[in-house]
């Protein structure tokens, strides 16, 4: 893949085979994002955690990061009926309903950031698995998005709760802030995620669990870090 001159220039600032201290790496990622040839938007700062997982293993959960990612209010969709639908509306969910939204999604509508469902709705919502699963939007008890406690679930996502999951290659990708976010806040968010990932280690997994960790900005190269610097 051919990279831009800006990417090539940024690449020279990080040593390929070096494992950086996490705080130093985040400072370098910010320096790259804010350096020469800066783009006209506030780049995202991302973390990639490469895990040693078997096909049977699933690492998925959600957490409220210590520092908000910003980006405005999330569009929350709640699949619910009756009193629970009213509870969702009062809690501030943007979209609330049942069959009408299931049908809209089947027709290609996906204008929401988070989907929450009450357990009694999952028989019907589950049929959307092929659509919502690919987008990482499928409600799941493990992430607190299948629950009768609709008010609390909506409130947590409004406060900045984020979901993380290992993809088919065993890598967790998550945005932990913006280029304008302070390095200390980025570090706090990365450390909080890493702590949760360690807590989710499959009990039957043998050998190494975390293979590598890297930080990057939207337009910049990945910078590998010493995982011990996140402990």
What pLDDT is attached to residue 114? 94
What pLDDT is attached to residue 79? 98
What pLDDT is attached to residue 150? 97
What pLDDT is attached to residue 96? 98
| Whether 51 contacts 171, CB under 8 Å | yes
Locate 182 and state its tokens.
Answer: 């302070």
What pLDDT is attached to residue 219? 86
Does this model's pTM top 0.85? My answer is no
What pLDDT is attached to residue 134? 87
If DSSP states are collapsed to H, E and C, what string results for the chain? CCCCHHHHHHHCCCCCCCCECHHHHHHHHHHHHCCCCCCCCCCEEEEEEEECCCCCCCCEEEEECCCCCCCCCCCEEEECCHHHHHHHHHHCCCEEECHHHHHHHHCCCCCCCEEEECHHHHHHHHHHHHHHHHHCCCCCHHHCCECCCHHHHHHHHHCCEEEEEECCCCEEEEEEEECCCCHHHHHHHHHHHHHHHHHCCCCCCCCCCEEEEEEEECCCCCEEECHHHHC
Q: Domains in the chain, ordered, with CATH?
A: 14-67+163-230 (3.30.190.20), 76-159 (3.40.50.790)
Nearest C-alpha neighbor of 187 from the set 161, 225, 155: 225
**pLDDT tens, 31-52?**
988 875 556 678 899 999 999 9
What pLDDT is attached to residue 136? 86
Q: For the chain, list residues with pLDDT below 50.
A: 6-8
What pLDDT is attached to residue 153? 96
């Amino acid at each position: 893949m051919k990279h831009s001159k800006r990417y090539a220039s940024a690449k020279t600032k990080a040593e390929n085979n070096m494992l950086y201290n996490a705080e130093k790496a985040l400072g370098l990622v910010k320096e790259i994002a804010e350096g020469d040839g800066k783009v006209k938007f506030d780049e995202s700062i991302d973390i990639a955690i490469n895990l040693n997982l078997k096909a049977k293993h699933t690492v998925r959960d959600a957490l409220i990061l210590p520092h908000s990612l910003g980006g405005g209010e999330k569009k929350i969709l709640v699949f619910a009926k009756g009193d629970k639908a009213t509870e969702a509306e009062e809690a501030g969910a943007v979209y609330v309903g049942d069959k009408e939204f299931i049908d809209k999604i089947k027709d290609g509508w996906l204008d929401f950031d988070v989907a929450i469902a009450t357990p009694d709705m999952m028989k019907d919502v589950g049929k959307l698995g092929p659509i919502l699963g690919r987008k990482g939007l499928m409600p799941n008890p493990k992430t607190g998005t299948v629950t009768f406690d609709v008010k609390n679930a909506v409130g947590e996502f409004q406060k900045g709760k984020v979901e993380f999951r290992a993809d088919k290659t065993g890598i967790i990708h998550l945005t932990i802030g913006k280029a304008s976010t302070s390095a200390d806040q980025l570090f706090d968010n990365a450390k909080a995620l890493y702590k949760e990932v360690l807590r989710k280690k499959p009990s039957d997994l043998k050998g190494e669990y975390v293979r590598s960790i890297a930080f990057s900005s939207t337009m910049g190269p990945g910078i590998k870090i010493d995982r011990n610097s996140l402990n």
